[in-house]
Amino acid sequence: MKKIERAEFILRHLNELYPETPSPLNHRNNYELLVAVLLSAQCTDERVNKVTPTLFRAARTPKKMRTLDPETVYNIIRPCGLAPKKSRAILKLSDILVREYEGSVPESLEALEQLPGVGHKTASVVISQGFGHPAFPVDTHIHRLAQRWGLSNGKNVTQTEADLKRIFPKESWNKLHLQIIFYGREFCSARGCDGRQCFICRACYPNRKRPKRTKRA
C-alpha cells in the first residue's frame, strides 16, 4: 500500500472499531479536563480517574483550588507521580485563570500553552476534547504507531503531528487521535505488538519480516 492508501484503510478500520470516542479522562467541565490531562503526564488514565474525584471534591473551581494548601493537593495527587511539580502547576494555573481569565479556561492553544505545567500536547487535548476545535494531540504512543504504520518517520512528536495532520482530513483529527490511542492500548501496545502482530500492522505491511524499530519521541 501507498501511504495515502494506508491512511484511508486505517481511518476506515478505526471508525468501524470505535464509532464513539468518549474521553478516557473523567471530567465535567474544561477546568477539570485541563487538570486531569496535566495529571496524566507519565501516568495512566485509570489512575488519574481514581485521584480526581477526591481532588475535585476538595476544589471544583480554580477559585477554590488556589486556596488549598499545597500539601493538601500534593497528598491527593501523589499516586499520579511527579506530585511536587504537578501540585505547584495546578495551584499556579488556577491562580492565573482567576486573575486573568475570570476563572475560565482560555479557548486558545497559545494561551493554554502559557499556563504552568501545560505543554503543547495537553493544550491540544483541551482544545480538541474540551472546545471541539480541530487538533491532533500526539503522545509517545501515537508517535510509535504512526511509525509502525508507515505514516510518519518523525524523530519527535512535533514532526509526527505535522505528518498526521497532512495525511488525514482535518475533520477526523479530534476523533482519530483517540481512536489511535484506544487501538494501541487494545491491539498494538509497546509490548503486545512489534509491528507484525496486530491486524493493522499485518494489513499495512504483510511482508514485514523483522520487528519495526521506532524512533523514540
150 dihedral zone (left: phi>0; alpha: psi -120 to 50; beta): left
**Is 121 designated active site?**
yes
pTM equals 0.93
Catalytic residue among 64, 86, 121, 215: 121
The tens digit of pLDDT for each residue in 118-152 reads 999 999 999 999 999 999 999 989 999 999 999 99
The yes-or-no verdict on residue 202 having pLDDT over 80 is: yes
CA dist., res. 130 & res. 33, Å (int): 7
The yes-or-no verdict on residue 214 having pLDDT over 90 is: no
Whether 11 contacts 168, CB under 8 Å: yes
Catalytic residue among 139, 165, 209, 212: 139
Nearest in space to 146 (alpha carbons), one of 217, 79, 83: 217
- Supply the CATH classification number for the domain 3-20+136-204: 1.10.1670.10
Alpha helices in the chain (DSSP H): 3-17, 30-39, 45-58, 62-65, 70-77, 83-101, 109-113, 120-125, 140-148, 157-167, 173-186, 199-204
Domain 30-130 matching CATH 3.60.21.10: the answer reads no
Listed by start position, the domains of the chain span 3-20+136-204, 30-130
